[in-house]
Amino acid sequence: MPRLDMTKQFIPLKIAVLTLSDTRSLDEDRSGAVLVERLQKAGHSLADRALCKDDIGQIREQVSQWIADRNVDVVITTGGTGFTGHDVTPEALTPLFEKHMDGFSQIFHRISFEKIGTSTIQSRALAGVANSTYIFALPGSPGACKDAWDEILLHQLDYRHQPCNFVEILPRLGEHLKRGKLQGS
């Protein structure tokens, strides 16, 4: 079972939160508020928070700014992961990814299935890495944001989490950028 190694010191990350909605304002953004409250309670800092329309160009532009910023370690988006015409988050983010994190989606769906049953298939939650920055795209419901944070991100974004976590490999995410192309590519 996973555990915390209390001999290690907690390392706070700088996390940006992006809400994607054509209808909400930041004041009405319950999902973004859930994420901000949870990440701060865990000891991380809010690097930035924004709201974008469900527009591929706007989403990609905002996330691109954050992944270029050395003061952002993690980007979490909420909204736009469904199947309606307005849901374009995966299409906006996927071209940015250098590496896809398939396991995130799988674990998120397993957790979600326990809560909402087969309705979980209506989400295209995903994650990846771009420019040494973790990116997580969550559904727009507060419940889905709570589930993703409480069951996955809280643990993986804690350096003390054992047997492994995202924080301990964060400094090595950009190794390929330092040595040129990956061998064999």
Closest CA to 14 of 56, 87, 71: 71
Instruction: From residue 93, give the alpha-carbon distance in Å to each of 77, 79, 128, 149, 163.
Output: 10, 12, 9, 19, 29
181 in any annotated domain: no
Record the pTM: 0.93
**Contact between 93 and 126 (Cβ < 8 Å):** yes
We report the CATH number of the domain holding residue 99 as 3.40.980.10
57 in any annotated domain: yes
Portion of the chain with pLDDT greater than 90, in percent: 86
pLDDT of 55-103, one tens digit each?
999 999 999 999 999 999 999 999 999 999 999 999 999 999 999 999 9
pLDDT of 1-48, one tens digit each?
668 999 999 999 999 999 999 888 888 999 999 999 999 999 999 999
| CA–CA separation, 139 and 78 (whole Å) | 5
70 in any annotated domain: yes
Domains: count for the chain: 1
89 in any annotated domain: yes
49 in any annotated domain: yes
Instruction: Provide the pLDDT for residue 25.
Output: 86
Q: In which domain, by residue range, is 85 found?
A: 11-171
The encoded tokens of residue 57 equal: 């160009």
107 in any annotated domain: yes
What count of other Cβ atoms lies within 10 Å of the Cβ of residue 121?
A: 11
128 in any annotated domain: yes
